[in-house]
Amino acid sequence: MEITVENAIIVLKKYLKKTNKEKFKHSVRVSKVCEILAKKWNVPVEDAKIAGLLHDIGKSFSKQEILKLCLEHNITIYDFELLENVKALHGRISSLLFKKEFDNTNLERLNYIAKAIDAHVSGNSNMSDLDKIVFIADNVEPKKDDSMMLPLIQFGEINNINECVKIIIERKIKRAKKSKRVHNPLLDNTLESIEER
């Protein structure tokens, strides 16, 4: 299947329309925010919209199915994911599904979008601007905890993409501590790499 927004909508419906209508709506909102941010930070808009649409398709699987897919495809599983939050693997599963659904005639583009889908959960130490946009959009879409940041980004109060990622990670860690939950330790690595830039 060719990598287009229209085909991404078909794939989104395949995985989320029947199983999780709220995640379906969330993915559409994330894609719209990705479009806004891609225009702001000069990233290919279609790629951002596609990554936003498909970032959560891995959430259509149970914890057991996610672990099975990880084992079958040699996907790295960190202790936190295995012991605390298996669903944190959904970014890697969504990336895998994206690669399976779309043809690889343009392997560079396929991997570029797949990496952004993968990185939306906790980032990584080498985030592209597309990775950052999907990470940000997932956290600032209108129904999320950090939604109040979206107008600040849109209207120029927060212009630096790295600063945006940093603020979101710090808020995620603070919320986890406040509710006495373990935060994803991969966020610490991403925060460290963002602060070095």
Residue 120: CB atoms within 10 A of its CB come to 26
Supply the DSSP string of 58-124, one letter for each residue: GGGS-HHHHHHHHHHTT----HHHHHT-GGGGHHHHHHHHHHHHS--TTHHHHHHHHHHHHHTTT--
Q: b/e map of 133-151 (b: 16 or more CB within 10 Å)?
A: bbbbbbbbbeebebeebbe
Burial class (CB in 10 A: 0-12, 13-18, 19+), 122: buried
Q: What pLDDT does 168 receive?
A: 93
Q: What pLDDT does 51 receive?
A: 98
For residue 5, give the nearest of 78, 79, 102, 112 by alpha carbon.
102
Q: Give the count of domains, the chain.
A: 1
Token code pair at residue 2? 């060719």
CATH number at residue 147: 1.10.3210.10
Print pLDDT tens along the chain (197 aa): 999 999 999 999 999 977 788 899 999 999 999 999 999 999 999 999 999 999 999 999 999 999 999 999 998 887 877 877 888 899 999 999 999 999 889 999 999 999 999 999 999 999 999 999 999 999 999 888 777 888 888 877 888 999 999 999 999 999 989 988 888 889 999 999 998 87
Q: What pLDDT does 158 receive?
A: 86
Q: What pLDDT does 83 receive?
A: 79
Q: What pLDDT does 154 receive?
A: 80
